[in-house]
Amino acid sequence: FNSNLGSRISELLFEPLDYGIAAQIQSEIRTTLRKYEPRIGIVELNVEPEYEQNSFSVHMEYEIVGRQDNAPQEINFLLQRTQ
């Protein structure tokens, strides 16, 4: 357990749903992964507002550091506000 692990993403989810906040969320994801998960390298990271679903769509491609034999891994998910 690492009590210092975390980011501002949960706070940002309650800000206006727009591309400016999406850029801040993207930066938080990138910074947190760089700091706490050095075993991967981010190839591509996109965060976009999904107005109809009141959420942010996240698409990320990453490589496992030190492994050239694998294609980049891909993950897609939604970040939604919860109370």
What's the pLDDT score for residue 17? 94
pLDDT tens for 17-65 read 999 999 999 999 999 999 999 999 999 999 999 999 999 999 999 999 9
SS3 12: helix
What's the pLDDT score for residue 2? 67
DSSP lists the bridge partners of residue 46 as 59
In sequence order, the 6+-apart residues with CB closer than 8 A to the CB of 44 are 59, 60, 61, 72
What's the pLDDT score for residue 81? 85
Whether 16 shows a pLDDT value over 60: the answer reads: yes
C-alpha distances (whole Å) from 29 to each of 24, 35, 69, 70, 71 are 9, 10, 25, 23, 21
What's the pLDDT score for residue 82? 80
